[in-house]
Chains A and B, each alone.
Chain A
Amino acid sequence: MISRFWALAVSLLILPSLALNAQGRRVTVSGYITDSATGETLIGAGAVSVDGSGSRIGAVTNSYGYYSLTIPSGNTSIQYSYVGYGMVVETVRLVRDTVINVALDPSAAIRESVVVASRDAGIQSTYLGAMEVPLAQIRNTPVLFGESDVLKAIQMMPGVQGGNEGFTGLYVRGGGPDENLILMDGVPIYNVDHMMGLFSVFQSEAVKKVTLYKGSFPARYGGRTSSILDIRTNDGNMKETHGSLGIGLISDKLHLEGPILKDRLSYSLSARGMHTAVFAPVIRAILKDTYANYYFYDLTGKVTWRLSDRDRFFLGAYHGRDKFLYKEYYDWEGYEIYDDGSRTDYSCSSREGMDLHWGNTVGSLRWNHIFSNRLFSNATVAYNRYKMSMGSESFEKGKRNGVKYKENYNLTFNSGIRDLSARMDLDFTPNPSYLVKFGGEYIYHTFIPETLTALEQSYGNGMEATDTTLNFIDNKRYRGHELSVYAEDDWSLGRHVTVNPGVHIALFVADGKPYISVQPRVSSKFSLDCGVSFKAGYARMAQYVHLLSSAQISLPVDLWVPITRNIRPVTSDQFSAGTYYDGLKGWEFSVEGYYKAMNNILEYKDGTLLLGNSGCWEEKVEMGKGRAMGVEFFIQKTTGKATGWIAYTLAKSDRLFPEGNINHGERFPYKYDRRHSLDISFNYEFTPRLELNATCSFASGGTTTLPEKTTAVLLPDRDEVISADYISHRNNYRLPPSHRMNVGLNVHRPHKRRGEGIWNFSVYNLYNYKNPNFVFVSYDQIYDAQTGETTSRPALKKITILPILPSISYTFKF
């Protein structure tokens, strides 16, 4: 099998070159397409060669802004363009391979691209379910407290649900939140949530491009089964220093980027933090002996070094934290008189408290190297850590009858995951009909599910001094080795047909057991001249890590665990097909259907206590199957003063655990099985200084499990029944639909000297609809004024944590 793979790979690489070399002399034009104002590389920009006969050959830049175009030698015009930038036309006479780096001017912006757009995503690409999320949409989508959020914007896409109302979880085509591979410059981020999911860790100011894959997946991605979210951050302005300073209701943001050495070395730095981070002394002054605080912060940075036309280096880092603290202080003095008349005088000061913090730390070093005009490489080494830590302390020191004493008890709980990785990606363009991508990756995983230790210290209390560390839970660290290789070819068979075959092969060794997975990927596209195209695709994916979670919100105590000897990798097989139309200028229409079958998905067995499971989690879960199917309708207007889209999804998802420990072996709806979802995004630019953004969302209710009746349960050999909650099946109750409208207004005010200020006025949940975040049973005390009696009525209640929320923020850009 492996030897056949290498034979296929070699064939894909060599044969096309041999064939086409027989057709006449060709030359390769390559280089970077950048923003003329910042020097930032443009991902997905187009380069189209138009010869004298009108024949067009095109290419687009890769994830690093590099393009390679092989065309016949001679006179030609090459049109370079990108949405939001003015087009540049280079008329050249080509006799040999040539490097042409082009800078596009954003001030001459056009609102549409005249060239074939990105090969990686969108209607023009071969991939199904692949979407580029416009940055403007991310920054202008009105969300909570005026904060722009990458994941909240993605929830507006068809096939993507947000899980619990208002939270950032991603549930893509019936998959769970741990089945999404979220990459920041190619490095996975494990926990992407602040405030238990109200905000994501990504700052929109630092983001350059966001691409979502949810249907057919490029072979270069692996390790998750539902979606790939590829987020690229800014490289830094090579020309001038620019930035922005934003003040909002709950957080402040700072973004700075600029040259260290003009056109050679640049930096980009973004920081965000909650106001409460600086309120600690104020809180302490108000609460006196009690201190409580919660805050989060993010730091994102990158240094880009353009060593030469062939070599570029990128040093990137991210660090973010959520922190919750609670402390109580008290001092007291007193005495105690005993029965025998003796007396003991006390004086002491004590401190009790707890702290909880969690977050990610990521570091990466990348090297782009151009071997030749046709061969581009990217090498990456990265470190990635997610850690959650909880601690509680009880400290007391003082004097008893003048004798000093001290007692200290600290409890620390840790959980986390750590990765070291190395990756190599190569792009080879033998000719315009082929774009071959291949490479490999190695990841060394260390999983630390749970450790619980205590420190006991005591002296001067009349007993023997102690200083002891106790390990209550010290679960073994799981180590996993993940090795993968891939190859894919974007192959144009004439004007109308493109095919992208590929394969991703992965080896994962955990607990001494190897798992090999061969994951074929194929997508195809047939396009007509009238703008109609048809696509079909198949992708097999495999996943080697799981997130053990049952709560309806993202909790930092959720555990990342690897596959083991007994728990096999999750796999998915997805078939998708669709029809697309972009023949009407400024409009895009698509209808896409999918069917996804999942194997070895995990859920907790019936009756499992959702605590302390890392030591024996394998015994508490069961492997089963899932399936998801749906149809997604998407209409988008991309040009003009009014832009936006309408996305409607009709979907169904369920689960089956045949062993019988979950729902007695019968199929049941998935927790986030929402039949209908409708998202409307609308943007209107009244003037260049005034723009309105509005979003409307509607979704059928998800499911939860609630007792339907009270039943009588008969135990064997017993002569009586016991009343019990009757639940016919898991996820038996469908929550009411949720819907809301968010509105935002951006007012731009240019400053005389430099920059502009932007006022944002937004309202989240404009008509204050009480969407259910949690559902529970409670008893209302109803007072009857006429009778004077109070009765207790059982009620099914909902908690809404996000009512109407107006906000105002100010951002100064310079």
Chain B
Amino acid sequence: MRINNIYIALTILATVSCTGVIEYLDDDTSYEIVVNMQTSTAAESHTVFVSKGYRQEVKGLEGAEVTILVNGDEVCKAIQEEKEDFVDAHGNHYSNEWHYREQARYLFDHVFKPGDRVGIRVEYDGRTALAQTVVPDPGTVEKLDTMSVNRKDILGEMSGFLEYSAALRDVDGEDTYYRVEMIERKTVTGHFEQDGMKVRDDITEYIEEPIDYYVFSDPVLLDGYPSMTDDNILADFTPVNSMNVFSDRLFPDSGRTVRTHVMKVGYQYAYFVFRDPDTGAMLYASSVDMVGETVFRLMTIDRIEFNYLKAINNFQAYGYDSSFIIEPTSLPTNVSGGIGVVSVASVSEMAVSLERFGVVGREVIYY
């Protein structure tokens, strides 16, 4: 009701007021070089996303010279990626011209380690943008346990979860910032039978993918954000910690056990679909086997990245455009001569065997 009355009040004001143009925004044809990279010490291949940020739009910046610097030394050049079809985890190809409209991708290989001073220099049209960051010392995952629990989900219904308890150890002597990812690395083997007879060879795929998890009440992981079960009539617009970032303010220089929850599910339809390596045809397996591990990955990030991801939390709640009924969110940057955020996170992880999927079979089974 308050929003309606605010609109009414502003409407009244608008009817008795006059408007004037301060400036036309497209008169401003200048742009900022936008440099983004989100990677970690666990990766060997990295992608730098480079764009041109105009007043009203952003476009991919092609043809730039992108140089990678580590500890002041030039280690390699990043090469602009050829525009290719998008390929999903199952090897399916999709045309994605749109994918390159707002970004140009520059690829390079290097292994970063904690303490490295990383610089990414982008040179284009006589301009230079330099992103600088330092790879932080990693916090540590010392132990990981898992336990099967039944509890209410975010819809208020009883469901089966796997609760992961991770014992963390903070970095000594400084303010530290973290992000948690949960990943599944699994080998899925599809069996193809008809009327009890094997009709073709098994097909095996290796999948590594992030998985969704919930933080119901852990104060460290929530870090001041509302929990995922809060009953809030305006919850759709309330920022939650969707980027899973937190600081060490509740456990500086010490250890702390945090808890996440992953929903138990039966085998999903997607795991039954395979692509024939010879013909490229889509095949539906009669049964699958899956083995692998669930990884609790603790990524230690710097303060710029921490503030950046908190800003993303706000964007995820109400969109990426400004509104007069929402306090604006500013974006930090570590790019001089441009904008954007370059970050290399340190990684510490621990894995347990994969347990959250149900019994094999053609039917999709839910716990």
Interface residues of A (CB under 8 A from B): 196, 294, 324, 354, 356, 390, 392, 411, 413, 452, 472, 550-551, 555, 557, 604-612, 616, 619, 660-661, 663-665, 705-717, 719-730, 732, 736, 770, 772-773, 775-778, 780, 793-801, 803
Contact = CB atoms under 8 A, between A and B. Distances in A.
B260 to A, nearest CB: 16
Nearest to B313: A607
A710 B239 contact: no
Contact of A716 (B38, B224, B318, B339): B38
A776 B53 contact: no
Contacts of A795: 21-25
Given A660-B307, A711-B58, A772-B22, A801 B327 contact: no
Nearest to A607: B314
B326 A555 contact: no
B328 A728 contact: no
B60 to A, nearest CB: 9
21 contacts: A294-B12, A411-B1, A557-B5, A605-B327, A606-B328, A606-B330, A607-B313, A609-B234, A610-B325, A612-B233, A712-B58, A713-B331, A722-B102, A725-B322, A730-B328, A730-B330, A736-B22, A770-B20, A797-B21, A797-B22, A799-B13
B307 A665 contact: yes
Interface in B38-60: 38, 47, 49, 51, 53-58
A547 B20 CA distance: 32
Nearest to A552: B324
B94 interface: no
Contact of B34 (A356, A390, A711, A777): A711
Contacts of B21: 780, 795-798
Nearest to B25: A794
Contacts of B331: 711, 713, 724, 726-728
B251 interface: no
B303 to A, nearest CB: 8
Nearest to B317: A607
B49 A801 contact: no
Given A555-B9, A710-B54, A610 B326 contact: yes
Interface in B228-249: 232-234, 237-239, 243
Contacts of A619: 224, 226
A801 B13 contact: yes
Contacts of A727: 322, 328-331
A716 B243 contact: yes
Interface of B: 1-3, 5-6, 8-9, 12-14, 16-26, 31-32, 34, 36-38, 47, 49, 51, 53-58, 99, 102-103, 179, 181, 210, 224, 226, 232-234, 237-239, 243, 303, 306-307, 309-315, 317-318, 320-322, 324-333, 339-341
A798 B325 CA distance: 18
B102 to A, nearest CB: 6
Q: Which of A616, A715, A721 has the most CB of B within 10 A?
A: A721
Among all A-B residue pairs, the 10 with the closest Cβ atoms: A607-B314, A664-B307, A724-B320, A801-B17, A714-B36, A794-B25, A712-B51, A705-B328, A606-B329, A709-B53
A712 B340 contact: yes
A728 B237 CA distance: 22
B86 to A, nearest CB: 8
Contact of A720 (B103, B234, B311): B103
Contacts of B36: 712-714, 721
Nearest to A720: B99
A413 B339 contact: no
Contacts of A726: 32, 53, 331, 339
B234 A776 contact: no
A712 B129 CA distance: 15
B229 to A, nearest CB: 15
A782 B65 CA distance: 39
Given A607-B327, A800-B17, A711 B340 contact: yes
Nearest to A714: B36
Contact of B310 (A411, A413, A660, A775): A660
Contacts of B25: 777, 793-796
A706 B323 CA distance: 10
B32 A709 contact: yes
A758 B336 CA distance: 65
Contacts of A721: 36, 49, 51, 58, 102-103
Given A607-B326, A717-B181, A709 B339 contact: yes
Contacts of A732: 330
Nearest to A777: B25
B352 to A, nearest CB: 20
Given A611-B2, A710-B56, A711-B34, A663 B330 contact: yes
B26 A794 contact: yes
B243 A800 contact: no
Contact of A713 (B47, B181, B238, B320): B320
Contact of B22 (A356, A557, A605, A798): A798
B20 A800 contact: yes
Contacts of A616: 232
Contacts of B330: 606, 663-664, 705, 727-730, 732
Contacts of B56: 710, 794
B22 A712 contact: no
A91 B232 CA distance: 76
Contacts of A711: 32, 34, 51, 53, 58, 331, 339-340
B198 to A, nearest CB: 37
Contacts of B309: 716
Contacts of A717: 38, 181, 210
Contacts of A609: 234, 237-238, 318, 325-326
B39 to A, nearest CB: 9
A705 B333 CA distance: 17
A619 B326 CA distance: 15
B14 to A, nearest CB: 7
A801 B14 CA distance: 8
A230 B159 CA distance: 63
Contacts of B340: 711-712, 714
Contacts of B9: 196, 555
Residue from the set B14, B19, B340 with the largest chain A CB neighbour count within 10 Å: B19
Contact of B102 (A413, A607, A712): A712
Contacts of B47: 719
A773 B315 CA distance: 27
Given A452-B1, A607-B329, A611-B3, A770 B18 contact: yes
A607 B47 CA distance: 29
B141 to A, nearest CB: 18
Given A710-B58, A724-B321, 15 more contacts: A392-B1, A607-B314, A607-B317, A610-B325, A661-B224, A664-B311, A664-B332, A665-B307, A714-B341, A720-B103, A723-B57, A727-B331, A797-B21, A797-B22, A799-B19
Contacts of B18: 770, 799-801, 803
A712 B326 contact: no
A664 B16 CA distance: 38
Contact of A797 (B20, B311, B313): B20
A321 to B, nearest CB: 16
Contacts of A390: 1-2, 5
Given A663-B330, A712-B58, A606 B38 contact: no
A412 to B, nearest CB: 9
Nearest to B236: A609
Contact of B324 (A608, A723, A776): A776
Contacts of A720: 99, 102-103
Q: Which of A294, A392, A608, A727 has most chain B Cβ within 10 Å? A: A608
Contacts of A706: 322
Given A607-B327, A711-B32, A775 B332 contact: no
A713 B315 contact: yes
A709 B103 contact: no
Contacts of B328: 606, 705, 727, 730
B314 A606 contact: yes
Contacts of B318: 607, 609
